[in-house]
Structure 1
């Protein structure tokens, strides 16, 4: 390779400024000799961005284009394709370099092994670059240790999320594992999903909640999305699935009051004032006893940003093995980068939370506000277009659940809420009625029909003041 200046151009991170280019050269040599066969073996492991040298990126891109166009690959064809596309510093020695690549590669059979080396070196460079960025963050005295560590986690998460692709399997190979799983489900040996504690909702969700899901629960203010989500977390914790509620409005004390009210059937407003009757006071210890070993975790985190919330969730999974995390709520989350447009900020939040759910094998229930348009329609059921501020919410969410008022009760009466699944795969019947006993913050399935009394929530006057904690 005497005709080619193989000096590696200095990258941003000095520690990886001069890596060995031999694995990259071996992979490209295999492509120039083996054509489509070698490309298919390597393409599942590396891409143009995996190569450190800019010329190598160009050669890979040229070969990729030829293979996808169904054309033959050899040094002459690749040289023609690269004319005018490479830096002048490399153009003169390019014919010799391509020929040397072809003659010096090991074998097409080794391309997979060498591609893995290239992929690993690429990830190591990204780790070094991320480390350098963290070093720059450390110089910014305006950032707290929590902010820096949160951003560091986000940087390294992106690297850890890179996966090597697997081989496609034939339906014949998949048939036996499929039948085994089906039999286990039929015999009750396998869990279909994590139950929500509301039978009809489990049916709607095709068995409950699953690993990797981002579920958005949306409603207008005062409808009850926070209370409903807390009920789901409590229900799953009671079934042995560790759950967490990260609140940006309600602190741990308020969440505890609601849990005691729910489990002990103690009026929430009396828990706030302390003016309990002897009967109510006697039920508090019963609720506390039920909570003793309950795997349910609360944290008050006002103004938290994406990096910080990601760090908190990882800690909960690592320390407590949580399977459901409720975030209350999206529009209260702060931006990691305040300079970005708010819509872009929210898109970044939803997409990273979806990725985080997949990485950690958990369900994330993200609460969200709806805009005012829903209040202008005669039908109170929200639509996807009612999601506030960000179209990415509906794109990134696996499931979108919406709540609305169907019938409002007085201060000591239950309300009927509508729940609809307006986005999701494998969903069952999409609408159901829920009974909300605001006095005790308890939610349960209702036999009420949502087809009747449709406009009650928007037209009926309120005879009395509503329960203040109905949200």
Structure 2
């Protein structure tokens, strides 16, 4: 057989197994429906798919389930009702139906694998997109098959008590750290300790407020605490990100690192910054216009290889979706939902940067609100934490900017605001004692860094 010639669907299902589970529900009703745990798309035969969909409607509506009720709900449909009546003869027992349901699921997964393989062959031959995009889309197609959801039963709350006590004791003993500190005390307090596994965190701001710099410092802080982190940049190159890292670690002017014009002891501090980077578990990757599939592929690799717990993606509006021709708003929704799923699957924090729309600049009060999130209402639904930043006060010569950071949404903690010092020349962030409600000095409202 040619490697890309895949078997036909002729032997990709079991007619007998499909008849058995349908017969079980027709004979027993809701108890059989609950026992087999199938969905209509797992059936191969179109008629079986239709029958299962209608049986499911009867069960969920609390109605009696039988051939007569099925005929009534499908009145007018072109169905061989003698065949449907005969399905009841396929029923043996609930136990047998469970085993036959597994056969139906296995065949469904096998068909999905074949479909994914065909998709991979097609994508591999599509030279209109880059090899990175082809690899990313291929991985995504296969992952959709292998990530089968484990069956879990509904359990009473008391069954979770033992695990709760063990987890609580582990946190009390220091064996389990529930959150990872950001290095900004008030931010950590609002976040109930810091960043958590399985979270999608959004950091949003207008251009040049400093969201990229702020997120990079959070990744740097994580790495310095011994918790591996990664920064995926679609706007800045790894060289630019390295400049910022050295500026932060060595307290060296970023402008001097860009043009090589360093003064006095700055060369010594460059050495200090470079030495600080050695062995630091911070991983940088830059590629413009990454797709969600490419981000997911790279994320899985750095998590598997380096144990990364925080991945910063800079930024949402530069990303691409699956490649399907859909409305941009729908595409961005696909990206945010996919990012949340990625965080849950890998057990990490995904920090996704995002732009705010221009409306925030038209208001007297520069504080962003949820409706300022650009182009994508799904952010509010999918994110666990949403932070929005603005420039409260532009610093004068030799003075730091005062930035505001508002937590607009927080599933595991409080909402609130924190004032931040941003020392732009050194790309360093720290908590400020300044009040975000104090009158501002006359200065440009926006600006101060990427």
Per the normalisation by structure 2, the TM-score is 0.92
**2:254 paired with 1:261:** no
> Separation in 2 of the partners of 1:81 and 1:121?
29
Are the counterparts in 1 of residues 393 and 443 from structure 2 also a CA contact under 8 Å? no
Alpha-carbon contact 1:59-1:82 (below 8 Å) kept: no
Does residue 1:405 correspond to 2:406, yes or no? no
Return 131-140 or 370-379, whichever deviates more: 131-140
Aligned residue number for residue 461 of structure 1: 443
Say if 1:462 and 1:130 are closer, same or farther in 2 by CA, change over 3 A: closer
For residues 290 and 314 of structure 1, what CA distance do their matches in structure 2 show? Answer: 26
> What's the counterpart of residue 183 of structure 2?
197
Aligned to 1:173: 159
CA distance in 2, matches of 1:199, 1:399: 17
- DSSP-derived class of the 2:271 partner: helix
> 1:15 and 2:8 equivalent?
yes
Say if 2:44 is the partner of 1:62: no
Contact 1:357–1:364 (CA under 8 A) maintained in structure 2: yes
Q: Retained in 1: the 8 A contact 2:408–2:415?
A: no
- 1:367 is aligned, of 348, 353, 362, to 353
Secondary structure at the residue paired with 1:172? helix
Displacement after TM superposition at 1:183 (Å): 2.5
Task: Confirm whether residue 299 of structure 1 aligns to residue 291 of structure 2.
Answer: no
Counting matched residue pairs gives 445
Q: CA deviation at 1:229?
A: 0.3
**Given the superposition, is the C-alpha separation of residues 271 and 33 from structure 1 closer, same or farther in structure 2, using an over 3 Å criterion?**
same
Aligned counterparts of 2:425 and 2:307: Cα–Cα separation in 1? 32
The one-character-per-residue Cα deviations of 1:121-159 (angstroms, maximum 9, x if unpaired) are 212211111211222233433233222221112222333
Q: Assess, with a 3 A threshold, how the Cα gap between structure 1 residues 426 and 318 changes in structure 2: closer, same or farther.
A: closer
> 1: distance between equivalents of 2:148 and 2:397?
52
Contact in 2 for aligned 1:410/1:466 (Cα 8 Å): no
User: Structure 2 CA distance, aligned partners of 1:176 and 1:305?
Assistant: 42
Shift of 1:61: 1.8
User: Which of 203, 218, 241 matches 2:227?
Assistant: 241
CA RMSD of aligned residues (A): 2.3
Match of 2:418 in 1: 432
Residues 16, 128 of structure 1: 8 Å contact kept: no
1:420 alignment partner, SS class: strand
Distance across 1 between alignment mates of 2:171 and 2:414:
18
Residue 271 of structure 1 corresponds to: 257
In structure 2, what is the equivalent of residue 40 of structure 1? 34
Deviations 1:354-396 (A, max 9, x none): 2222222221111111111111112211011111122222222
Q: 8 Å contact 2:321–2:334 — kept in the other structure?
A: no
How far the C-alpha of 1:244 sits from its partner, in A, is 0.8
Secondary structure in 2 matching 1:127? helix
By how many angstroms is 1:348 displaced? 1.9
More deviation, 119-128/220-229: 119-128
Aligned mates of 2:330, 2:53 — CA distance in 1:
31
Task: Quickly say closer, same or farther: Cα 1:181–1:314, change in 2 above 3 A.
Answer: closer
Match of 2:200 in 1: 214
| Cα pair distance change 1:35/1:383, threshold 3 Å | same
State the alpha-carbon separation in 2 of the partners of residues 410 and 157 from structure 1.
52
Relative to structure 1, is the Cα distance of residues 48 and 202 closer, same or farther in structure 2, using a 3 angstrom cutoff? same
Q: Which residue number in structure 2 is paired with residue 29 of structure 1?
A: 23
Quote the Cα distance in structure 2 between the aligned partners of 1:159 and 1:397: 25
Partner residue, 1:185: 171
Distance 1:167 1:344 in 2: 33
Q: Answer yes or no: is the 8 Å Cα contact 1:411–1:439 preserved in 2.
A: no
| CA displacement 1:313-362 (0-9 Å, x = unmatched) | 22222222211111111112245427332222222222222222222222
Alignment correspondent of 1:380: 366
> Who is 1:75 aligned against?
67
Q: Aligned equivalents of 2:145 and 2:386: distance in 1?
A: 29
8 Å contact kept, 2:91–2:97: no
Partner Cα distance (1:208, 1:243) in 2: 14
**Equivalent-residue separation in structure 1 for 2:321 and 2:24 (angstroms):** 46
| 1:292-331 matches, cutoff 5 A | 292-331=278-317
Tell me which residue corresponds to 1:128.
114
Distance in 2 between residues matched to 1:98 and 1:339, nearest whole Å: 41
Q: CA distance change for structure 1 residues 402 and 23 in 2, over 3 Å: closer, same or farther?
A: same
Preserved contact between residue 245 and residue 325 of structure 1 (Cα < 8 Å): yes
Q: Which runs of 5+ in 2 are unaligned?
A: none
The CA distance in 2 between the partners of 1:338 and 1:32, in whole Å, is 40
Q: CA deviation at 1:84?
A: 2.7
Aligned partner of residue 425 in structure 2, secondary structure = coil
Go from structure 1 to structure 2 and tell me whether the alpha carbon gap of 1:461 and 1:63 turns closer, same or farther (over 3 Å shift).
closer
Partner Cα separation in structure 2 for residue 390 and residue 462 of structure 1: 28
Q: Please list every run of 5 or more consecutive structure 1 residues that lacks an aligned counterpart in the other structure.
A: 1-11
Q: Distance in 1 between matches of 2:146 and 2:68?
A: 38
Contact 2:14 2:104 in 1 (8 A): no
